Structure 1
């Protein structure tokens, strides 16, 4: 018999919050486990999901110095998001971040971070330690080594987090093609997924 748990409860636009961590150009050199074009494509799709479902969203990071500037997708699709500057390895250690999470009042946190093994992992562990339920969008993240990336996913999973993809996320949040968001999700797949031919561009 299958046992119901907090991780078998479906995600919805009413029970989850999105957190975007460090989508800044200065971290590009560390992206060696995923092609840059694929990474930007996936991160853009993730940002559009936030917009399509009008979900509460927190955008973490600060521009300047080695961090560079935010990817254009942040201003283009995340204008509704709450911006929080972060100067700590884990965003949990920024009081404003905790305050904003408390205001939103949701336990399920869907997050993507440019460095899976650093900013995404450390925040995920802190969220778990404080009663939240993190879902890590792994195809919107990367690392400098496959081994390091694998270790990060293992540690987060063993700690209790769930690994997801943006494609799974879009369908789960939608639930039914006849919803008002159904058409937008269909367009999202056509523009950004392999189902719509995105990866074919690299073969031709």
Structure 2
């Protein structure tokens, strides 16, 4: 199981230029999902590695919504398409000391798939957050997901990650934060929480 003590998160290339080309899902929903994932990692104090590709000359800076979640962190910028082949990124992941690596990246077929395959080869347990990634077409996204699963990576969703890390709703140190993330990004589940917490119902 994923726990706050054994998992780390890598967020790869969430920048404006790659987001423009996402066709496999609604782009605004994708951004909301990755922000929810980032906020979940922050809530449960998961070590998080941020990276961008050619930020100044091509793809633009890290999305401001993510920069707000990690204001003290400077993303590792690189030119290599496979983030794992960049010493600074790989060293940052290794420095977390965690064996389970949550990964999300744009695009699924490039920014996520290549470092995820490399991380698997390096011995990490890789969990990719399938509703926080997207491809330039539905076919590209689906093909990448199939390849990752065949290689041994495990698809998860951001809500599944949040609930697996929370595990027990009596854990009061994180429950309010989990509810807050769910209300903001959890769709019908979040609205159910809003309804249940309505003081007029008590």
TM-score (norm 2): 0.89
Alignment of 1:1-204 (within 5 A): 10-62=1-53, 63-81=55-73, 83-179=75-171, 180-194=173-187, 195-197=189-191
- CA–CA distance in 1 between the matches of 2:75 and 2:136? 27
- Alpha-carbon distance, 1:148 to partner: 1.2
Q: Which residue of 2 aligns with 1:5?
A: none
**Which protein is richer in helix relative to its size?**
2
How far 1:82 moved relative to its partner? 6.1
Per mean C-alpha deviation after superposition, the further-off stretch among 35-44 and 14-23 is 35-44
8 A Cα contact 2:109 2:144, kept in partner: yes
**What's the TM-score once normalised by structure 1's chain length?**
0.88
SS at match of 1:64: helix
* Distance apart, 1:97 and its partner CA: 1.4
In the aligned structure 2, how far is the partner of 1:78 from the partner of 1:15? 20
Q: Give the distance between the partners of 1:29 and 1:187, measured in 2 at CA.
A: 28
> 1-side partners of 2:157 and 2:72: how far apart?
22
Q: Is the 8 A contact 2:109 2:140 kept in 1?
A: yes
146-155 or 75-84: bigger deviation: 75-84
Write the distance in 2 (CA, Å) between the matches of 1:86 and 1:132. 22
Q: Secondary structure of the equivalent of 2:126?
A: strand
Q: SS of the residue aligned with 2:181?
A: helix
SS of the aligned residue for 1:55 comes to coil
Contiguous gaps of at least 5 residues in structure 1: 1-9, 199-204
Give the aligned length.
Answer: 189
State how far apart, in whole Å, the 1-side matches of 2:83 and 2:39 are: 22
Point out the more displaced range, 164-173 or 78-87.
78-87
- Deviating beyond 6 angstroms after TM superposition, the runs of 4 or more aligned structure 1 residues are none
User: How far does the alpha carbon of each residue in 1:68-112 deviate from its partner, in whole angstroms, 9 at most, with x for none?
Assistant: 222112221023546322221111100111222222211110011
RMSD after superposition: 1.5
CA distance in 2, matches of 1:14, 1:82: 23
Aligned-partner Cα distance in 2 for 1:114–1:101: 18
How far residue 146 of structure 1 moved from its aligned partner, in angstroms, is 0.9
Gaps of 5+ in 2: 193-202
Contact residue 58 and residue 82 of structure 1 kept, 8 A? no
Matches of 2:61 and 2:10 in 1, distance apart?
Answer: 18
